[in-house]
Structures are given as C-alpha cells and as structure tokens.
Homo-oligomer: A and B are copies of this chain.
Amino acid sequence: MKILITGAGGFVGYRLAQALLKKGSLADGEGKQAPISQIVLFDVAFPENVDARLKCVKGDLTDKACVEATLGDDTDAVFHLASVVSGGAEADFDLGMRVNLDGTRGLLDACRKLPKPPRFVFTSSVAVFGGELPEVLDDGTTPNPQGSYGAQKVCCEYLVTDYSRKGYIDGRSLRLPTISVRPGKPNLAVSSFASGIIREPLNGIVSVCPVAPTAKIWLLSPGKIVDALIHAYETPSSAWGVNRVVNLPGITAVVGEMVDTLRKIAGDKIADLVEWKPDPRIEALVMSWPAKFRNDRARKLGFVADTDVESIIRGYIDDQGIKI
C-alpha cells in the first residue's frame, strides 16, 4: 500500500513516517493486513537526512496539480497533518484560510478522484472548542472556536465527515490535545510554550512562559499522538459510524506543576530557567481552550492517553538522549 503524509516535514509527520517504516504494514481493522510499499512525504520543507526509504515531495498544499500528481492513482492512505498553526492562522487570516481550509478541500477533492476511496486521517485540534465551556467537556460539547485556526479545523471536520458519508473517502478526524514535548525550536503555535518550558531548560536555555502557573492545558505526548494516528487508520469504518470526529484522550496538566515535575526530574538549576511573564493576549487564548475531557467515545474506539506529566517529560528525555 502507498501512504501519503502531508506536513511530513514537521516533527509529528516525520515521526509518524518513521513509525510506519518500523511497523511495515497496516491493518484495516476488518481482518486485512497490508504491507506498506511506499511512504510519500509532502511538505514545503524537510529535515536533513531523511530516511532513504521515504519519498519526499516538496510542494504547496494549495497547488492542486501538485497534490493530484503526488497522490497518483495508487494512494491507499492519507495522513493529513499539514496546517498553518494557530498563531500563524490568527496573524495571517488569508494564509490560514488558504492552507487550512482550501488546502484540505483541495486534498479531499483530489482523493475523490482516486479509483478507490482512501482512508483519510485528519488532524483537527481541541482549539475547535472555546467560549463558555463546561468544566469537563465531553463528546457532546459543541465546537465554538475563538480563533480562525479552530474555525478552519471544524469546517474541515464537517467536510471530512460529509466526504465520508458520500463514499469519496473513508475519513477520521482526530482532535489533538496540545502536544508536549516537541523537540526543536519554538513555533508560531500559541501552545508552543507547553513544549518550550520543558525543552529549553533541558537545553540550558531560558524559556519565557506567557501564561500563569495556574493555567491548565490538555496534553498528549508526541509518541501517543503518533500511536493515535496509526490507531485511527487501523480502526474499522463501522466503529466510526456517520460522525467521523473524535476528541483524543489526554491529561490535564497545570503549567506550574509541569515545571515542578521538571524540577523533580532535572533539578533546580534547570527548572529555574523558566521565566514567568504572562502575556494577556496569549493567556486569554489559552484560557479559552478546554483543559479537561470525558473521552468515552475515544476510549471505546481504543485510543490511549499518557499516564502523567512525569512520563511525558521522561519520555522526551529518553527520546532525545539527554543526560541529566
């Protein structure tokens, strides 16, 4: 089988590609296991030294001809991760609309032309929620995004579900919690600090935290995100029903407690590198995001969260081979 990963130059996309290489095959949840013959990475840029077994296609998601050519007529699975992040979509409305909404729409239309409807795993976000929220959200909570990124994601969810109902694709939309700990550099995502406050200190660098220690975020580790993407693919269509969206399980992390846990694991010298400088604009947006869910549907579908913040931080330290 041939797999396309969009946004595969990014951290999660590339980590997914590596996991798929290692796995070698994908089950369809209906009794069939298909060996992976080709993994195509699509993005505007790629990391150096990409594994030679992966085919990289440099292109823009909004370039329809390029997207169609990349899909060819033999793509069986699409993992659609490419996206302008929350802060970027808020700062440049047109760019966000063009990539996040039009780009996804173009990809869906290109998939529709494939001889066989592909399984299509779409990464949505808990940023679809906002406004007046219950303390604990559940599968019935109505999206009410307070940013253009969330608005674009929720529109795409409805498209993925409708294209699936029409039989054009076999789609699944995962609402991703905030990802922590991302390696590398900070990005334009408003949630970038949730990785920065762990990653930068472990690299001996000061990290400015733009929200108060009492702020809560809904977290999932990169490893569990990749597991969820693969699991979403491997779940039978029948398990999803007409509505193709699910809130992924995560854990509620209090930002101050994340730094306390870092202190416990790596010591005062490291943890003291976090500087608290609340930025009202970022804080308001983060506070509008949900921090706690009841994930009945996700658990029934077999999705799994991390155990606690400590395991997330220790996982990152292990992945990166950091010496404490």
Binding site for B on A (CB under 8 A): 93, 131, 140-146, 148, 151, 154-155, 158-159, 161-162, 165-166, 242-243
**Known pairs A155-B155, A242-B131, A243-B131; A162 contacts B140 (CB<8 A):** no
Q: Is B142 touching A142 in the complex (CB atoms < 8 A)?
A: yes
Q: Is A145 touching B131 in the complex (CB atoms < 8 A)?
A: no
**Known pairs A140-B142, A141-B142, A155-B155; A148 contacts B162 (CB<8 A):** yes
CA distance A93 to B166 in the complex (A): 9
Which residues of chain B are within 8 angstroms of A146 by Cβ–Cβ distance?
Answer: 165, 242
Which residues of chain B are within 8 angstroms of A131 by Cβ–Cβ distance?
Answer: 242-243
Which residues of chain B are within 8 angstroms of A141 by Cβ–Cβ distance?
Answer: 142
Chain B's closest residue to A242 (CB) is B131
> Smallest Cβ distance from A62 to chain B, in angstroms?
14
> Smallest Cβ distance from A223 to chain B, in angstroms?
30
Can you show 7 pairs from A to B with CB atoms below 8 A apart? Answer: A131-B242, A141-B142, A145-B158, A145-B162, A146-B242, A154-B158, A155-B158
CA distance A289 to B116 in the complex (A): 31
> Smallest Cβ distance from A67 to chain B, in angstroms?
17
Which residues of chain B are within 8 angstroms of A242 by Cβ–Cβ distance?
Answer: 131, 144, 146
Which residues of chain B are within 8 angstroms of A143 by Cβ–Cβ distance?
Answer: 142, 158
Q: Is B158 touching A151 in the complex (CB atoms < 8 A)?
A: yes
Which residues of chain B are within 8 angstroms of A140 by Cβ–Cβ distance?
Answer: 140, 142
**Known pairs A158-B155, A159-B155; A166 contacts B142 (CB<8 A):** no
Chain B's closest residue to A156 (CB) is B155
> Smallest Cβ distance from A260 to chain B, in angstroms?
34
CA distance A70 to B141 in the complex (A): 40
> Smallest Cβ distance from A163 to chain B, in angstroms?
9
> Smallest Cβ distance from A152 to chain B, in angstroms?
8
Q: Identify which of B155, B159, B243 contacts A144 (C-beta below 8 A).
A: B243
CA distance A148 to B167 in the complex (A): 12
> Smallest Cβ distance from A173 to chain B, in angstroms?
13
Chain B's closest residue to A131 (CB) is B242
> Smallest Cβ distance from A251 to chain B, in angstroms?
24
> Smallest Cβ distance from A148 to chain B, in angstroms?
5
Give the interface centre of A144, A145, A151 by most chain B CB atoms within 10 Å.
A151
CA distance A240 to B154 in the complex (A): 21
Q: Is A166 touching B144 in the complex (CB atoms < 8 A)?
A: no
**Known pairs A140-B142, A242-B144, A242-B146; A161 contacts B165 (CB<8 A):** no
Which residues of chain B are within 8 angstroms of A154 by Cβ–Cβ distance?
Answer: 158
CA distance A243 to B132 in the complex (A): 10
CA distance A179 to B141 in the complex (A): 29
> Smallest Cβ distance from A137 to chain B, in angstroms?
11
